[in-house]
Structure 1
Amino acid sequence: MEKKKLPIYELEDDIVKYLQPSNRDRLIIEAPTGSGKSTQLPQVLINNNVVQKGEIVVLQPRKVAARMLARRVAGEMGCRLGEEIGYQVRFEKIISDKTKVRFVTEGILIRELISNPSLSHIGAIVFDEFHERHIYSDVLLAITKRLQEETRPDLKIIVMSATLSAESITEYLSPCRSIKCSGRTYPVDVRHVNLNINSQTISDSVIKAIKSEVIKRGLEGDVLIFLPGAFEIRKTIEKLRLIKQLKGCLIVPLYGDLNPKDQDYALQASDKRKIIVSTNIAETSL
């Protein structure tokens, strides 16, 4: 799909208008899954020269999301990762003096606030996936709001979410603007499988579901399986690889403590049918 056709571009003119220096630089964007907000908003800000001084920092709740979004945006902009577009997570940093957009986890920005309380090197902070509310994002929003009010009136604050109830955040950030765009939806067929999970392991339940709902019904396409932790993921993968109908499939794990290279491998495009066995790390931004 041509990126300009993504729903977030319905709001491009409003985003540029509401983030002009003459307005209070606070904006809330409600944009559902599939609207393109995470990958396209940084490009809208760059292409329209909205942030004239300092870098754009995009906060992500998960390391894997920060890495993958940075790669995607760099690819769309035709630049090498680490030049105009980069990322920084714990123990890993791919940025340069040219970096205009930096995807980071909240812990990185908290440490920067300790060493540089004015955040003088930052021109805009984007709180992505803000509906995943937790203490770090709330504390950072409170600190940056106060920073903007007291010493950094030029600092732009943008809050984005797919499912956020915007009224309370709008009231907290007042005066600010709140805008909303449509999203792309796809048909979803929900089927509840009657399994006696009390008499078998969770991996056995997954195998039975795969056999009855995917293999027996002849469903095509990639498969995403959610499990609670790495132990259950490893056991399930072992059993999936024993199913002869899945011999040609690429069966890969995805969880937070996995090696970054293996995380990236799980999310890369493949010619083979892919079965990803993941924790909730794959729920958002990917």
Structure 2
Amino acid sequence: MLNENLNLTNLRNGFNVTKELPIINYKDEIINNLLENNVVIIYGETGSGKTTQIPKYLFELELGGDKLIGVTQPRRIAAINIAKRVAVETSCAIGKEIGYEVRFNKKSCGSTKVKYLTDGILLNNCINDRRLSEYGIIMVDEAHERALYSDVLLGLLKEIISHNNGLKLIITSATMDVIKFSKYFFDAPIIYIEGRLFDVEVIYKPLVFIDYVESAAYTVIEIHSNPEKGDILVFLACQEEIENCIEKIGRMNKLKILPLYSAMEYHEQQKVFEPAENDERKVILATTIAETSLTIDGIRFIVDCGYSRQSNFNPTTGIDNWGGCSNIKSSS
């Protein structure tokens, strides 16, 4: 495993932009709405700072009281790295006041006030304690990422809140249909927060080869041949395509190829956050695991093939089926 203190030290160097986040101007509005309502819907655009700053506000104002503030993330790598970031910003030791819990990995204790966890972990907590009595506030982040776990969890949270047991719920996303979510959760108030975006030049390249994975590899080689500096992030559908793309790119001078997908060991996933050495350029080949709630410094070029694999529940067989499909606009 990587040295936790070393990771936190590296993280500190990149957190001098908190005061520039758009969410700063909405702090009072968010807190007041939460005090007056059991459910608050927040439409926070990309770069608004909602994922890190809202839990920090709740922690600093002690709004959770003597209970936990739970923050769900759809992916393990996001839950762990965001928890580390918030720990740094609040000057807390990871695993103490700020903690996380994902499958096979837990860092929290009796004094933990904010816990980042996956949807599946919170759902499991709900099965063991139907009223989630150890939680005072729950924030469901990236609510647009609909999956079986998250949908069941939202239904259970609505049932818990309808019994007026004091639990507060915050639902956030950058692309969800806030009107539908608001109506589902008792006409909850909606807060809109603008994001902080950068100028992006979009180039639609025709497929050089029939196989889009091969075309992605060709595009990476083409970019690396250009003297313009900056790392590359490539979105592919699955682990098999990533391994295939690595093979097609081959060995290139001063090009460091890093895969990123959910089945990897955590310490292997962490390598994508480490800066390249000796004037190397990083190229990260990732599934949708890198699509939301992750910030990888140094990325200048993004190659998106427009495909992903999604799990669809088959009610007839009672199992999930994985299949390839084109990405919807909100995921692009």
> 1:174 Cα shift?
2.0
Instruction: Work out the CA distance in 2 between the residues paired with 1:146 and 1:226.
Output: 37
Instruction: Work out the CA distance in 1 between the residues paired with 2:60 and 2:113.
Output: 11
Q: Which of 21, 25, 37 is the matching residue for 1:24?
A: 37
Q: Deviations over 1:32-85 (max 9, x none)?
A: 111111111110111122221310111111111111111111122222211111
Q: Which of 136, 141, 154 is the matching residue for 2:154?
A: 141
**Percentage identity across paired residues of the two chains:** 37
Q: Does 1:275 align with 2:286?
A: no
Q: Is this contact kept in 2: 1:19–1:50, CA < 8 A?
A: no
Q: Which of 181, 187, 210 is the matching residue for 2:199?
A: 187
Normalised by the length of structure 1, the TM-score is: 0.91
Q: How does 1:58-97 map to 2 (within 5 A)?
A: 58-97=71-110
Match of 2:137, SS state, is: strand
Q: Which amino acid aligns with 2:281?
A: R
Normalised by the length of structure 2, the TM-score is: 0.79
Q: Does 1:265 align with 2:271?
A: yes
Match of 1:10 in 2: 25
Residue 73 to residue 241, structure 1, CA distance change in 2 (3 Å): farther
Q: Is this contact kept in 2: 1:70–1:87, CA < 8 A?
A: yes
Q: Which of 233, 245, 257 is the matching residue for 1:236?
A: 245
Instruction: Work out the CA distance in 2 between the residues paired with 1:166 and 1:63.
Output: 25
> 1:175 Cα shift?
4.2
Q: Which of 208, 215, 233 is the matching residue for 1:205?
A: 215
Q: Deviations over 1:96-150 (max 9, x none)?
A: 1111111111111111112111211111110100111223222212211221221
Q: Which of 131, 138, 142 is the matching residue for 1:129?
A: 142
> 1:265 Cα shift?
1.7
Residue 9 to residue 165, structure 1, CA distance change in 2 (3 Å): same
Q: Is this contact kept in 2: 1:202–1:232, CA < 8 A?
A: no
Match of 2:92, SS state, is: coil
Instruction: Work out the CA distance in 2 between the residues paired with 1:24 and 1:55.
Output: 18
Which stretch of the first structure deviates more once superposed, 109-118 or 122-131?
Answer: 109-118
Residue 149 to residue 195, structure 1, CA distance change in 2 (3 Å): closer
Instruction: Work out the CA distance in 2 between the residues paired with 1:74 and 1:111.
Output: 25
Consecutive unaligned residues in structure 2, runs of 5 or more: 1-15, 295-332
Q: Is this contact kept in 1: 2:217–2:248, CA < 8 A?
A: yes
Match of 2:150, SS state, is: helix
Q: Is this contact kept in 1: 2:220–2:232, CA < 8 A?
A: no
Match of 1:183, SS state, is: coil
